A and B are shown apart, each in its own frame.
Chain A
């Protein structure tokens, strides 16, 4: 027997696969968003509203990996975007390999904007690069303003934080200012956008962010 020293992080090979995938998507001009949140935070609802507003402008698709993915995939199809359900086999997160398989099965021909509805938990998905162009996380008002203290890595690794269900703010003890301070302490560069997918508030700011990012992503030398 021979001893081989590796000193290699378990996620190292995933990080490499993810970068290769990201480069390929850039080449194809497909802007790919990894959407993460706890279960029931409002990912599907937000996606449906976003698709409704943007489907005339972009060709959109969704990779569904969360629980009830089959139901969500159906709803998305009815909403006018292509969608496919990924089989996650009891895994707690999507990795770059599973994402690639899903994207290839779905087909990327002509796509401008693709979302991954990641598996609903705030711990594991934060650690695995999926090859996404940008990471977006959702915190819904009922979950509480102390979530950043409990799950710091998710907030550190996200480019955008959507604070959803703001229509129910009057009924909850949710301190928006305190929450923002906590998040900025962990990640000074994060973009925080409060929205209500139900009432439409804040959706324009989110969609403008998407428009701006898609344009940058498709620009040849960015």
Chain B
């Protein structure tokens, strides 16, 4: 399932980040999801809740989702329009020479996390 696959990619990125920044626990993750990214947010949340139990780093993390609106640009008349409303054909000049500017992304925007407590340095002498 696509959503589960994406959750595993998010978790992997967070694991790497935790390693680099000495993070102990992640409290929340904010994800920006494009309107036409093909990600079904309800499934995504289910997958997240299923997956997070397997990873101590994120087991208590809250998932926050933000939507990014889909916008398409027309190369012929140089105008932007709402992708979801009009699709691939430009509503102004009916051209097919259009491309998606935003709306296909899935971005980890930010996280809240607790750092690992400094381990007391043993003085062995």
Give the B-binding residues of A (Cβ under 8 A). Answer: 1-14, 90-93, 95, 97, 123-124, 149, 185
Contacts and interface: CB of A to CB of B under 8 A. Distances in A.
A93 B6 CA distance: 10
B40 to A, nearest CB: 12
Contacts of B4: 90-91
A6 B38 contact: no
9 contacts: A2-B113, A5-B109, A5-B110, A6-B109, A8-B13, A9-B108, A92-B1, A93-B5, A123-B38
Q: Which of B5, B38, B88, B111 has the most CB of A within 10 A?
A: B5
Given A9-B107, A13-B12, A13-B16, 19 more contacts: A1-B112, A1-B114, A2-B112, A3-B112, A5-B109, A5-B110, A6-B17, A6-B108, A6-B111, A7-B108, A8-B107, A9-B106, A10-B106, A14-B9, A90-B4, A91-B1, A91-B8, A124-B2, A149-B88
- Looking at chain A's contact residues, the main secondary structure is mixed
Contacts of A5: 109-110
A6 B29 CA distance: 10
Interface string B99-110: 000000111111
A152 to B, nearest CB: 9
A97 B11 CA distance: 14
B21 A4 contact: yes
B27 interface: yes
A2 B115 contact: yes
